[in-house]
Amino acid sequence: MIFLKLKIDNLYMFKGAEFDFTYPKKIRNSTIEGEFLTDFPKINYKKVCILMGANASGKTSLGKLMCSINNYLLGREVDGIPKTIYDKNKNASVEITYITQEAKNIHQLTINFNQESLVSEIYKSNKLKKTYNLEKTLSKLDDSSPKFLYNKENKHNIENPGFKSVAYSMGYELCKKDAIWNYKYSDFENSNKLDVQTHNINILESILKSFDNSISSVNAVTESEKNIDIVKFFNGDEVLIENGKILNPDRFSRGTIESIEITDFINFITAGAGGTFFLDEKMAYSHSEIEISILNLIIEKLKSNSQFFYTTHNYDVLEMNLPSHSYIFMKKDSFVEAIHPEKLGYTKNDRSLLGFVKNDVFGTLPNTDKIESLL
């Protein structure tokens, strides 16, 4: 599925926050290929979204919420919601506009929760039309009547829906069952585990050697019944990765350990079909050059009808040759606000946004006065 728009209210630190994952006009010679639906080329969506902002500006929270949405659309209970409601005395809501490219549909789902359960659900869906551009498609969706409604007056004999979609349980296919997504969060430590299912030794070797030039080779041990990779160093040291688990991670630097999870993520992208991919500050320990090089690799390997979300603090990422609409800045004063530079007129794609960010044009720089007061 493809996220087109997302409105979040009273969840985490989001209050009336709006994210737009569409862009109005195709860019000539864009460095991102296929930033539109394959079968509906007039539907422009952001294939690459780089989320930047100060610490605690909501980047990870956004990823967690999007992952919850993916699960919710498949009829799963999202019981973590109550603890993320900001004002516990008020309802929280999410409105998501999205595409299921396989079903060739555009959908809009508006859900309201309180501390106890789902309060209301409004579901709209239209068939995509080749002749409609994005604007018309969205406007037709807004004007359409709900296909399904759940609220106090329309309970469908469900008294307590919990934190699950009633529309789904009533038989509405909100999303394809085999939808692909992969979310990796900065605060979830899984770096010493490699997913053996999507394992590619060449990618592993190239990435590990880039992180640590004292690694001489990475090979699969073919004579073992277990799935074992052996990482050899020029000094004769060895690290074994058995069924995806690094047996002696101490031999690796922090960045190299981190790279294992990145490898896993890249394997996932290259091995499967298109999907939603979210990588949250997973290269915080990497050298800037390596981070940018890997980011370039991920973008290159993205399949059509995919969407990649990436969070970072690295200024150098702003110097990459990417359309300005690929960047979304997040800032938090009282609440989180999303800033889309292309909507503010920063559309010169031959110019870096770095200067604007450094001059705090978007108000996204953290205030360091309190640190300086310690001097």
Q: Lay out the site mask for other proteins across 187-226 (x = CB under 8 A, - = otherwise).
A: ----------------------------------------
* Closest distance to other proteins from the beta carbon of 47 (Å): 12
The residue (of 10 and 349) whose beta carbon lies closer to other proteins is 349
Distance CA 140, CA 145 (A): 10
The residue (of 241 and 318) whose beta carbon lies closer to other proteins is 318
* Closest distance to other proteins from the beta carbon of 352 (Å): 5
* Closest distance to other proteins from the beta carbon of 158 (Å): 49
- Report the residue from 39, 135, 319, 360 that binds other proteins according to the rule CB under 8 A: 319
Q: Lay out the site mask for other proteins across 9-48 (x = CB under 8 A, - = otherwise).
A: --------------------x-xxx---------------
How many residues of this chain bind other proteins (CB under 8 A)? 16
* Closest distance to other proteins from the beta carbon of 350 (Å): 6
Q: Which of residues 272-301 bind other proteins (CB under 8 A)?
A: 292-293, 296, 299-300
Q: Do 246 and 260 meet the contact criterion of CB atoms below 8 Å apart? A: yes
Residue 320 found at the interface with other proteins (CB under 8 A): yes
**Which amino acid is it at 61?**
S
Distance CA 280, CA 294 (A): 14
Among 120, 124, 127, smallest CA distance to 43 is for 127
Strand order in the sheet with 2-9: 17-20, 2-9, 92-100, 105-113, 118-127, 148-150
* Contacts of residue 41, Cβ cutoff 8 Å, sequence gap at least 6: none
* Closest distance to other proteins from the beta carbon of 320 (Å): 5
The residue (of 266 and 322) whose beta carbon lies closer to other proteins is 322
Distance CA 82, CA 92 (A): 9
Distance CA 169, CA 117 (A): 15
- Choices 166-174, 201-209, 211-219, 318-326 (CB under 8 A): range interacting with other proteins: 318-326
* Closest distance to other proteins from the beta carbon of 253 (Å): 22
Look at the chain and count its residues: 375
The residue (of 92 and 322) whose beta carbon lies closer to other proteins is 322
CA angle 241, 242, 246 (to 5 degrees): 40
The residue (of 177 and 348) whose beta carbon lies closer to other proteins is 348
* Contacts of residue 114, Cβ cutoff 8 Å, sequence gap at least 6: 85, 90, 91, 92
Count of C-beta atoms within a 10 Å radius of residue 37: 21
Q: Lay out the site mask for other proteins across 236-275 (x = CB under 8 A, - = otherwise).
A: ----------------------------------------
* Closest distance to other proteins from the beta carbon of 319 (Å): 7
The residue (of 260 and 299) whose beta carbon lies closer to other proteins is 299
* Closest distance to other proteins from the beta carbon of 22 (Å): 21
Q: Which of residues 321-360 bind other proteins (CB under 8 A)?
A: 321-322, 350-352
The residue (of 165 and 324) whose beta carbon lies closer to other proteins is 324
The residue (of 33 and 116) whose beta carbon lies closer to other proteins is 33
The residue (of 2 and 322) whose beta carbon lies closer to other proteins is 322
Q: Do 338 and 61 meet the contact criterion of CB atoms below 8 Å apart? A: no
* Closest distance to other proteins from the beta carbon of 310 (Å): 13
Burial class (CB in 10 A: 0-12, 13-18, 19+), 20: buried
Q: Which residues bind other proteins (CB under 8 A)?
A: 29, 31-33, 292-293, 296, 299-300, 319-322, 350-352
